[in-house]
Structure 1
Amino acid sequence: MGGNMQELGHGFYWQEMEVGRKFKTIGRSVFETDVLSFTGVTGMNELLFNNLEYIEHESPTGKRIAPAVLVLALAEGLVMQGTLQHTGMAFLGMELDMKGPVVIGDTIHVELEVVESRAASKGNRGFVRTKNSVVNQRGETVLVYTPLRMMKGRPESA
């Protein structure tokens, strides 16, 4: 590539993740294929996900819901696209709070706020914690999680 050509999609360095900084991802709809593929791969063959008769008569929503861990995985995909490419080093832990169901056909996005940002004791890296709120098309927060990540620092020559 040319010397001054910037690569699109590059994530942020930890120094760029100042406490209080906020981001919003693009949206993504949740499709039946997502739920079927996810439950098939993971073996999560729960009646709430794959039995239409049970869903209609026994589910609290009466609709086909997406597993919470699928919603988390989709949210992480949205977050990674815009903030972590080339700069994310490790996912170190999180707290998770499910606030409401996500059903097939919902469109979700993630709203992030940096709540912690600090240098690591060694190496050109730091720790960043965000509060990630997964929000549906009705503006309802359906999931909140607070990942702590190790992220690369700006290149030494910058």
Structure 2
Amino acid sequence: MSTKLLMPGHYWQDLAVGDRFQTLKRTVTEADLVNFISATGMLEAIFIDAHYEGGAIAGRPVPGALTCALIEGMQFQTLLQGTGLAMLEMSVRAIGPICVGDTIDGVIEITGIRPTSKAGRAVVKSKVEIFNQHRALAMVYEVARLLKGRE
């Protein structure tokens, strides 16, 4: 009896400009913040002091890089699993804060597909919008990736 791989990624031939995908929702936890700033060294007072009073953001903000990384992780588990070969370029714009306790999700829109000279590969560009639980836009980034195609 054969076993099918659960949720393999999309080959570039399965994508079209204009395709849109939504990630699952995920609540950002205190553990996410602590683990991320510990691993990266982003030990800014606003992230390590739960009672920091010098900031302009209410709540316990998290680094924008963490917000982006969480949505990237959701894409790796689904859209890109087994087909993503490399991230080539990324441009990020933070629009609003994400804090511990916020629930985020991402909407991915395919904006470009260009097959490469090496058969079976393409550069796929996408725009990713990240929203909080109130549907407020928190971040937008554009990314170019190298994806594999069918054999």
* TM-score bin, normalised by smaller chain: over 0.9
User: Counterpart of 1:13?
Assistant: 11
User: Counterpart of 2:29?
Assistant: 31
Question: What stretches of structure 2 of length at least 5 have no aligned partner?
Answer: none
Structure whose residues are more often helix by fraction: 1
Q: 1:146 aligns with which of 139, 142, 145?
A: 142
| Amino acid aligned to 2:14 | E
TM, length-normalised to structure 1? 0.91
Q: How far does residue 123 in structure 1 lie from its aligned partner after superposition?
A: 2.3
Structure 1 residues 36, 120: CA separation in 2 closer, same or farther (over 3 Å shift)?
same
For the pair 1:98 / 2:94, whether they are aligned, the reply is yes
For the pair 1:120 / 2:128, whether they are aligned, the reply is no
User: Counterpart of 2:105?
Assistant: 109
1:20-45 per-residue CA deviation (whole Å, 9 max, x = no partner) reads: 00000101110001101111111111
Give the number of aligned pairs: 151
| Amino acid aligned to 1:52 | A
Tell whether the 8 Å contact from 1:78 to 1:109 is kept in structure 2 after alignment.
no
* Matched-pair identity in %: 38
Q: Larger C-alpha radius of gyration, 1 or 2?
A: 1
| Cα RMSD (Å) | 1.1
TM, length-normalised to structure 2? 0.95
| Amino acid aligned to 2:15 | M
SS of match in other structure, 1:23: strand
Tell whether the 8 Å contact from 1:101 to 1:142 is kept in structure 2 after alignment.
yes
Question: What stretches of structure 1 of length at least 5 have no aligned partner?
Answer: none
Q: Distance in 1 between matches of 2:119 and 2:99?
A: 43
